[in-house]
Amino acid sequence: MTTHSDSSPTGYACIQRYAKTLDSSPGVYRMLDADSRVLYVGKARNLKARVLNYTRPGHSGRIEKMIASTASMMFLTTRTETEALLLEQNLIKQLKPKYNVLLRDDKSFPNILVAKNHAFPQIKKHRGAKKEKGAYFGPFASAGAVNRTLNQLQKAFLLRNCSDSMFDSRTRPCLLYQIKRCSGPCVGLISEEAYRESVKDAERFLSGRSTKVQEDLAEQMMAASEAMEFERAAGLRDRIRALTQVQTSQGINPRGVAEADVIGLYMDSGQACVQVFFIRANQNWGNKDFYPRVGPDVSPAEVMEAFLGQFYDNKELPRQLILSDGIENADLMQEALTEKAGRKVEILVPQRGEKQELVAGALRNARESLARRMSESATQAKLLRGVAEAFDLDAPPERIEVYDNSHIQGTNAVGGMIVAGPEGFMKNAYRKFNIRGDDLTPGDDFGMMKEVLNRRFTRLQKEDPDREKGLWPDLLLIDGGAGQVSAVHEIMQAHGVADIPMVGVAKGVDRDHGKEEFHRTGQRPFALKRNDPVLYFIQRLRDEAHRFAIGTHRAKRAKAVGATPLDEIPGVGAARKRALLTHFGSAKAVSRANLVDLKAVEGISAGLAQKVYDFFHDKG
């Protein structure tokens, strides 16, 4: 691959100058503005021909603006056009150019894992790299879809979901056994062989062979009934019902589509919604909507192609992609995705039959989701205009940051930051801050807020010193009155960012909702009318910040509760800590144990036993 960059006049003249230097190789090109910000990334079968195309008139308004802003270009030649397509989408995800269609929400999806590192396998939700030994089934569209399926699978197959450490420490069955969600393998209430059969049945069901599983269970139920084992027959009947419930809740269970993603695209008023249904093992494992960034003159084919390239950049591919709209380079995209998957991936745009019905369902969902989102966006835009008016801002804020702290008498103190903007809460931008200040007095809310904001502004100035990346807030909301506002203002002055509007939200008389007072530097506090929608909006923001801070604090406290002095001993990891606690019953008992008893613990060598003993007895 080669790269080429040079300075030149802007616009058409700039592009013409570059076109003269190019040959007909396939590759990727970048258009940059005068500040070297990437405006657009594109691919080409023939770089020279593609770039020359920009020098001719007749482009849309969006492309004309892009051409006018172009001050330089960069080129990467590739061996094949397929390689160029993959590189293009990868660069778009990395660089987020202004004029490209951009997929903004790109999280991983959860799977169901039947873990195989234990005699009695555990069934659980799994997200991330598939490093653990076992059988994976997915993807599911959401954690909710996984949890619903797991809930019914527990009823149907009675598989455990407890951790190995909990399994090993049980002396009597847990509540899940009592409510008939587990067969109690931890205390020997089912044999290893019988449990293994249940695991196989669960895997058969998740692999799409559900009819056979239900037939087997029905036969067992009839046999139990004839043998007058009515309690066992009733249990088997409940398991069959649970499997039926899974299938009913899935809604769509196509017979002719075993493994596919069904992708429907709906566009309206310069906005787009892409709805993806995950079909695996002839079952619907949920659907999710995405809202790529598009322009008013972008075609459905361009949006769909960009979505496929970016969405599957880091996700497992199904055997079929069933689309509502065709794409210009379908053969190229199919070749690129097949290469990525290491097996054939088929791209289809059906016109009739079951596949077309699936696409119609995805399209209907996309249309309804986009209508809801546009309605919510209009409401949100109105609220942000109201916020600008209430707090004398120059324009409606694009990014509001709200801060809150949580602690109990100063312990396990954390700060929370939530973010909201034109599209509502921006949860991927939320941040937590573990309060580290050793010199803080327990419960010093001023000191905590100072530490949080010092760290926040220090990081912002490092990551985005020119305030160009959209990371800086247009408005800060803090929990507190005049004292907090004064403390925060000092910090902002110290960092040279006192130009950012900041408002303190203080509870009014009797700490009553609706009587909030708003404090700003150098101005008298004021209140909004009780029925003002902007007041309700500010209350929602503050409550969300409070919820997030409390949740973070509870998680930290729970982690601290589970901590023991054993965590500080070099060489004592999770497995050895568990062995010591299981053997002696508590960390205190470990600290009092003599060397001989420590050596008797399974998995604890003589050397490590000496380390543990010395840790508790040689501290003076």
Residue 326: CATH number of its domain: 3.30.420.10
Output the average pLDDT for the chain: 85
**Residue 381 domain flag:** no
569 and 549 within one domain:
no
Helix, strand, coil abundance in the chain, percent, nearest 5: 45, 20, 35
**pLDDT value, residue 407:** 53
Question: In whole angstroms, how far apart are CA 22 and each of 1, 48, 52, 74?
Answer: 14, 5, 10, 11
Closest to 403 in 3D by CA, of 445, 372, 375: 445
236 and 150 within one domain:
yes
* Cβ proximity of 386 and 397 under 8 Å: no
Give the end of a domain, one of 223, 250, 277: 250
260 Cβ partners below 8 Å, 6+ apart? 279, 318, 319, 320, 321, 322, 358
293 and 201 within one domain:
no
* Cβ proximity of 361 and 277 under 8 Å: yes
d(CA 232, CA 445): 60
**pLDDT value, residue 313:** 87
Structure tokens at 605: 């060598």
409 and 548 within one domain:
yes
**pLDDT value, residue 5:** 46
Give the end of a domain, one of 195, 229, 250: 250
Residues 318-344: tens digit of each pLDDT:
999 999 999 988 999 999 999 989 999
602 or 254: which leads in pLDDT:
602
Question: In whole angstroms, how far apart are CA 514 and each of 112, 517, 518?
Answer: 45, 9, 12
158 and 45 within one domain:
no
pLDDT of residue 166 exceeding 80: yes
607 and 500 within one domain:
no
Strands 320-323 and 259-268: parallel
**Residue 390 domain flag:** no
Quick one: residue 469, left, alpha or beta (phi over 0 = left, psi -120 to 50 = alpha)? alpha
225 and 243 within one domain:
yes
606 and 522 within one domain:
no
Where does the pLDDT of residue 576 fall: very low under 50, low under 70, confident under 90, or very high at 90 and above?
confident
Exposed/middle/buried for residue 69 (C-beta within 10 Å: 0-12, 13-18, 19+): buried
**Residue 391 domain flag:** no
Number of folded domains that form the chain: 5
Closest to 453 in 3D by CA, of 407, 486, 495: 495
Residue 58: CATH number of its domain: 3.40.1440.10
530 and 435 within one domain:
yes
User: Percent of the chain, pLDDT > 90?
Assistant: 41
Residues 217-235: tens digit of each pLDDT:
777 778 877 778 777 677 6
Residues 395-436: tens digit of each pLDDT:
999 999 999 877 544 455 778 899 999 988 998 889 888 877
**Residue 137 domain flag:** yes
* Cβ proximity of 586 and 565 under 8 Å: no
Domain that holds residue 499: 400-559
**pLDDT value, residue 266:** 96
Residues 10-69: tens digit of each pLDDT:
889 999 999 999 999 999 999 999 989 999 999 999 999 999 999 988 888 889 999 999
* Cβ proximity of 368 and 412 under 8 Å: no
394 or 254: which leads in pLDDT:
394
Residues 181-223: tens digit of each pLDDT:
899 999 999 999 989 888 888 888 888 776 666 677 777 778 8
**pLDDT value, residue 253:** 62
* Cβ proximity of 32 and 71 under 8 Å: yes
* Cβ proximity of 77 and 95 under 8 Å: no
Strands 320-323 and 27-32: unpaired
Out of 61-75, 234-248, 585-599, pick the least confident.
Answer: 234-248
**Residue 1 domain flag:** no
pLDDT of residue 245 exceeding 60: yes
**Residue 102 domain flag:** no
pLDDT of residue 620 exceeding 50: no
* Cβ proximity of 124 and 330 under 8 Å: no
**pLDDT value, residue 248:** 54
**pLDDT value, residue 222:** 83
**Residue 387 domain flag:** no
Name the amino acid, one letter, at 184: G
**pLDDT value, residue 522:** 86
Structure tokens at 470: 């959209």
Question: In whole angstroms, how far apart are CA 436 and each of 153, 409, 411, 439, 442?
Answer: 44, 15, 11, 9, 12
**pLDDT value, residue 394:** 92
Give the end of a domain, one of 39, 67, 95: 95
Residues 95-150: tens digit of each pLDDT:
999 999 998 776 788 999 999 888 999 999 998 888 889 999 988 888 888 888 88
**pLDDT value, residue 282:** 82
d(CA 530, CA 369): 32
Residue 570: CATH number of its domain: 1.10.150.20
d(CA 426, CA 237): 45
Looking at residue 519, what DSSP letter applies? E
267 and 243 within one domain:
no
Strands 27-32 and 38-44: antiparallel
**Residue 525 domain flag:** yes
The end-to-end CA distance of the chain, in Å, is: 64
494 and 351 within one domain:
no
Strands (E), 11-106: 27-32, 38-44, 72-77
275 or 449: which leads in pLDDT:
275
233 and 117 within one domain:
yes
